[in-house]
Structure 1
Amino acid sequence: MPQLNPNPWFFIMLLSWLAFSLIIQPKLLSFTPTNHPSSKTPATTKSTPWTWPWT
């Protein structure tokens, strides 16, 4: 059964994981996020209840 032969596929998987972890991942992690988390608490607005005309 040829699918049980790990000889070519293990090397391809190893090379792809090395490329991802050594080349692609540091480039992705170097980007800074545009929206930093805010330490301020969000301001709550006071809402007035709706006055229904038939009540």
Structure 2
Amino acid sequence: MPQLMPEPWFMTFLLTWSILLTIIPMQILALTFPYEPNLQTEHDSATQTWNWQWL
């Protein structure tokens, strides 16, 4: 059974995971968000009351 012989695929497996574990986290950490979250003021957070006309 070829999957029981680690010589052909084990180095490919290790190389692939080493690339994934070193390059991908650096790319994720390099992402920047275009907009910083702003705190809402009290004036903006005031909600309008609903007009329940059918009651």
Question: Under a length normalisation based on structure 2, what TM-score does the superposition of the two structures give?
Answer: 0.59
The number of aligned residues is: 53
Among all aligned residue pairs of Structure 1 and Structure 2, give the percentage whose two residues are the same amino acid.
38
Structure 1: gaps of 5 or more residues: none
Amino acid at match of 2:23: I
In structure 2, runs of 5+ residues without a counterpart are none
Residue identity opposite 2:27 in structure 1: K
RMSD (Å), alpha carbons = 2.6
Specify which structure has the higher proportion of helix. 2
- Normalising to structure 1: TM-score of the pair? 0.59
